Amino acid sequence: DLPSSYAIRDSRKLDCIICFCAFNLAERLPRKLYCGHTFCQACLRRLDTILNEQMWIPCPQCRQNTPLPRGGATALDLDLAAFLGVKADMDSQRSSTQQGGRELVTSPTNEAPLLPPFNYAVGHIGYWYLDC
C-alpha cells in the first residue's frame, strides 16, 4: 500500500510526459505552452535546441504552436499549479523526514549526495542531503 503522498502526487500529474521524470524546482521546472500542456523545462530546452531556427515550439502532445520567447524555452510561463504541487511535495517530504533536529531532504541541486541514493517511487531516484 503506497503512502497517501504518492496518490496526491500522481493526481496532480507532476511528471513530464516526454521524459517521465518528476518536475522539480531546478532543471525540470514545469513550463506551460499556450495550448495548456505542461512539460519539463529540460525537455522543452532540448526541443528548442532542435528547432533553434524556428520562432515557435510545436506542442509534443497536440502540435499547437507556441511562440518562442526571447529567452527561449526557459522564458516560457511556469505551470503555477504544477510548480506549487512540486513545492508542496518537497515541503511535505522535508517535514516528514525530520530526525533529531537535523533534517534529511531530497534536493534538486547538483550538490554531491551525503548518503547513497534511494528510490522514492518506481523509476525515480533521489538523494538524501543534510540541511544544516
Per-residue pLDDT tens, the chain, 132 aa: give them: 445 444 444 545 789 999 999 999 999 999 999 999 999 999 998 887 665 567 888 899 999 989 888 888 899 999 999 999 999 988 888 776 655 445 444 445 444 444 444 444 444 455 444 444
What order do you get walking across the sheet with 102-106 strand by strand?
98-99, 102-106, 128-131
How far is residue 32 CA from its own chain's centroid?
12
List the CATH code of the domain at 4-99: 3.30.40.10
CB burial readout 99-110, b (16+ within 10 A) else e: eeeeebbbbbee
Separation of alpha carbons 73 and 71, rounded Å: 7
Where are the chain's structural domains?
4-99
Q: What is the pTM assigned to this prediction? A: 0.61
* Residue 105 vs residues 7, 85, 97, 102: alpha-carbon distances, Å: 20, 17, 7, 10
C-alpha cell at 108: 534538486
Residue 121, amino acid: A
